[in-house]
Amino acid sequence: MNRRYFLNYSAITAAYLFTGCEERTDTDERKPQQPASASPAAVTPPKAEEKLPEKITPFTQKLKIPAEVNYAQLKKAAFTAQKSQVNIFPGAQTEVLTFQGDLPNPTIRIKKGEVFDLDFMNNLADPTIIHWHGLIVPEEMDGHPKDAIATGEMKSYHYPVEQSAGTFWYHTHPHGRTGEEIYRGLAGFYLIEDEEEKQLNLPEGEFELPLMIQDKRFDEKRQLRYKDPKVPQDNNGLLGDVILVNATPFPYHEVKSGKYRLRILNASSVRTYKLAFDTIGEFALIGTDAGLLEEPLTVQSVVLSVAERVDIIVDFKDKAPGDKVTLKTLGFKEGSNLTLHPDYPAFDAPMDIMQFHVTEKIQDTQVVPEKLIPIPRMQASDAVNTRTVTMEIIAGGIWTLDQKPYDMHRVDQKVKLGTTEIWEIKNSVHMAHPFHIHGVRFQVLERDGKIAFPTDKGWKDTVIVMPFETVRIIMHFTMPGLFVYHCHILEHEDQAMMANLLVE
């Protein structure tokens, strides 16, 4: 048991998470590991129905690695959105939503130039649709909320993949239910490979790991709890106290003393992570949402808001068998001055995420290339138009873009196909929002805030906009059609913080 795990939580959370329904006694063997500040007697006990049934001992469950749907081996795949019972905790069944009956959902792996082909069946009780996050595909393939298919219906996706290598993902996107569907399971990785990336000889096979991070809440029966009807702040974003990586709570993964490529996705509802390792001071950022960087950037930590991805290389070379390295979030208090559910670790709460257990010393000959993939920079002078999109909260506490609650049939912006534009994304509230746009990728020109984000240097499809900050992005529109742009805090986009863009 890792003592730091306890210390990383606020007093309330530590007591909450680890006392559960049980009475503690002085003879409790776990007692000495609890920090003095976390005396259960000192805090108000949380509502009974929100407690975990018993303590979770972190780093005792093995990380699950998603199976792969690899288009080098098959021509067509099938997904069925469905209710499933899966093992998230040992010896317990948890009801979730899946695409193929289990979690984590499979990782799609496809090469640039190949054709993606998949039949999607909706066996949920409500209409739904899959969106391929970060992919630039025709409108009817994109998963616009207006294209949601009814229960019992099937939709065939068929499109060529023409983008460069990167770490993308897929999730359902029905209006008003995206948050709950992703939360209950409907998300997975979508990896595009290409020849240029292959030439770089990045770590692969067992040395390449997709890591999907999500914070969730469980009840005493180990079932997922979504929004708490008694706590209106949950409409501002759902925070959880159990961090799952690839659908495994606080997992561990056995590694050798070499370099690992970690492709990390934040598929949480609202939480922004500031990722770091406890005993490895630096790591290399090699890619962002929509592709590889021009050159690796050495960082000590990286901020990852909802829906963003980072591609990193971490080196365990100085570690010996028996050593343990913890991936954690340092907390990101700059991200929100808004109180969310008070019973769950807030934005500024440091939390452990998962642990790497070093089991074998190896001679690692892997080299991180000095140069990665050139990124042709779009210039502000290339832009034919500049627009402003404002993130605002309106009367009634409704999250909107430009003060207009989302209407899936209203066109909010018209863009000329083949042109380049600058969009100024303006945040007028005291909470950071990740801005995402479909059907196009972008580059960050500048932000007028205080924090510099190394991820701004790469190709993006989602960018964090800090409280009261304006971020200027530039993009070249190559795909005609009606697409959405929205805040990617799931409870915000479900509410009304979304708009339509027509490229023609």
Q: Which parts of this chain interact with Cu ion (CB under 5 A)?
A: 433, 487, 489, 492
Give the phi and the psi of residue 350 in degrees, each rounded to 5.
-70, 140
Nearer to Cu ion, 253 or 486 (CB): 486
- Nearer to Cu ion by C-beta: 12 or 307? 307
- Residues whose CB falls within 8 Å of the CB of residue 11, separated by 6 or more in sequence, listed in order: 35, 37, 38, 39, 42, 43
What ranges make up the beta strands (E) of 154-308?
154-160, 166-172, 187-193, 208-218, 224-225, 242-245, 248-249, 252-256, 259-266, 273-277, 283-288, 291-299, 302-304
**Cβ 433 to Cu ion, closest distance in Å?**
3
C-beta of 171: minimal distance to Cu ion in Å? 17
Q: Can you name the residues that pair with 80 across neighbouring β-strands?
A: 121
What's the min distance (Å) between Cβ of 487 and Cu ion?
3
Q: Which residue minimizes CB distance to Cu ion?
A: 487
Contacts of 199 (CB under 8 A, 6+ apart): none
Instruction: Give min distance, CB of 391 to Cu ion, in A.
Output: 6
User: CB 287 → Cu ion: shortest distance, Å?
Assistant: 25
3-state secondary structure of 140: helix
Rank residues 245 and 497 by Cβ distance to Cu ion and give the closer one.
497
Q: Quick one: 50 or 181, whose CB is closer to Cu ion?
A: 181
Which of residues 474 and 498 has its CB atom nearest to Cu ion in the complex?
498
Q: Which residues neighbour 447 within 8 Å (Cβ) at sequence distance 6 or greater?
A: 453, 456, 465, 466, 469, 470, 471, 472
Nearer to Cu ion, 52 or 401 (CB): 401
In the complex with Cu ion, which residue's Cβ is closer, 299 or 408? 408
Q: How far is the CB of 431 from Cu ion (least distance, A)?
A: 7
Q: Which is nearer to Cu ion, 487 or 501 (CB)?
A: 487
Cβ pair 501, 490 in contact under 8 A: no
Residue 499 Cβ, how far from Cu ion at the closest point, in Å?
12
State CA 177 to chain mean position distance: 17
What is d(CA 207, CA 226) in angstroms, rounded to the nearest whole number? Answer: 34
Phi-psi label, residue 403: left if phi above 0, alpha if psi -120 to 50, beta otherwise = left
Q: Which residue's CB is nearer to Cu ion, number 349 or number 487?
A: 487
What is the helix, strand, coil percentage profile of the chain, to 5? 15, 40, 45
Are the C-beta atoms of 218 and 242 separated by less than 8 Å? yes
Tell me how far, at minimum, the Cβ of 337 lies from Cu ion, in Å.
14
> Smallest distance from the beta carbon of 273 to Cu ion, in angstroms?
16
Q: How far apart are CA 291 and CA 285, in angstroms?
A: 12
